[in-house]
Amino acid sequence: MTAIAPRREDDALLLKPRRDPFLIILWIILVTFALVWIAPVVLIAFTALKSNAEVMATSAFTPPEAIAWNNFSGAWARGNFETTFKNSVIITVIKVPLGLMFSAMAAYALARIRLRFGKLLLLFFLFGAMIPFQVMLAPIFTLVNGFGLIDTYPGVILPYLAFGVPYQVFILHGFFKAVPKELSEAALIDGASHVTVFRRIFLPISLPVLAALLILDFVSTWNEFAMALVLLQDRHMWTLPLGLMSFQGQFSTDYGQLNAAIAMTVFPAILVYMIFQRYFVSGLTSGAVKG
């Protein structure tokens, strides 16, 4: 063996990368913010598993001693989850894909088909995203009531669609605009109609963006409260966020059950996020760096 044994100090000098103080500060800030975000999740998880007595007796961040699974069954019954869960699923499962489909088609037409008033039409769409929906609550109620759609699925789904489409069109229009125009031209020369170009070329390449929009739209539709509160008066038509109101009693609040209900409400949104988050991240960057 003729190899010279490497000296320890040299190794340390060569191999140990110098830490950038900026990165350290960044990490500290990130961890702080992460804690702020995680804290309520932990609080909900712990409280959901405690009996009401234990909630009152222990601090919020103490892990539960005896796990109270019956909070979940209690919450399920008290919040009328059988109905509200079903309503939320029906509304979300119809609204989200339908809205995305409309938005994608509109965005394609605005980005790729030469229309006489294309720019004006786009502005018209975008204008929809500028109106705060609180302003619209009363007019929408009157309108939906006029159609006799209060307490019906279409009565909620249609306004949801109307409010979801503008920002989706905005994002998808930007993405479609960035697709090289030769791609659609090549397809048109290949004999494709615009429907085919949209379905066979644009939809497949915009999957990441669509996945990102699907997550955002699923979560916001699933959690929507104010409009549902106005448009759904009948308890049997309530969605999950409305169902959570049952836990706010006039004289007492069962925090264990309330948090169990919240956990059950949030769970599907987390599930959808976990399934699609891989695309979500690539979708966020796909506009910036074309692959």
Partner 1 sequence: MATVQVSDLRKSFGALEVVKGVSIDIRDGEFLILVGPSGCGKSTLLRMIAGLEDISAGRIDIGGRVVNTLSPKERNIAMVFQNYALYPQMTVAQNMGFSLEISGMKKAEIDKKVAEASEILGLTPLLQRKPSQLSGGQRQRVAMGRAIVRDPDVFLFDEPLSNLDAKLRVQMRAEIKALHQRLASTIVYVTHDQVEAMTMADRIVVMRGGCVEQIGTPLELYDRPDNMFVAGFLGSPSMNFLRGKIEGQSLLLPGGERLALPSLPKGGSSGDVVVGIRPQGFAVGTQDGAKATIKVVEPTGADTHVLADVGGTEVTCVVNDRVDFAPGEEIRLSISSAKVHFFDPASEVRLD
Q: Residue from 130, 189, 288, 289 that binds partner 1 (CB under 8 A)?
A: 189
Should residue 177 be labelled a site residue for partner 1 when binding is judged by CB under 8 A? no
Should residue 180 be labelled a site residue for partner 1 when binding is judged by CB under 8 A? yes
Should residue 139 be labelled a site residue for partner 1 when binding is judged by CB under 8 A? no
Should residue 191 be labelled a site residue for partner 1 when binding is judged by CB under 8 A? yes
In angstroms, give the least distance from the CB of 216 to partner 1: 23
Q: Residue from 126, 192, 229, 272 that binds partner 1 (CB under 8 A)?
A: 192
What is the size of the binding site for partner 1 (CB under 8 A)?
17
Should residue 200 be labelled a site residue for partner 1 when binding is judged by CB under 8 A? yes
In angstroms, give the least distance from the CB of 203 to partner 1: 9
- The tokens for 30 are 């990130």
Given the rule CB under 8 A, which of 4-12, 115-123, 194-202, 261-269 is the region that contacts partner 1?
Answer: 194-202
Our CB check for partner 1 shows the closer of 206 and 221 to be: 206
Should residue 183 be labelled a site residue for partner 1 when binding is judged by CB under 8 A? yes
Q: Residue from 32, 70, 196, 233 that binds partner 1 (CB under 8 A)?
A: 196
Should residue 234 be labelled a site residue for partner 1 when binding is judged by CB under 8 A? no
Asked whether 287 and 175 are in contact (CB, 8 A), the reply is yes
How many C-beta atoms surround the C-beta of residue 141 within 10 A?
Answer: 17
Binding site for partner 1 (CB under 8 A): 180, 182-183, 185-192, 196, 200-201, 204-205, 291
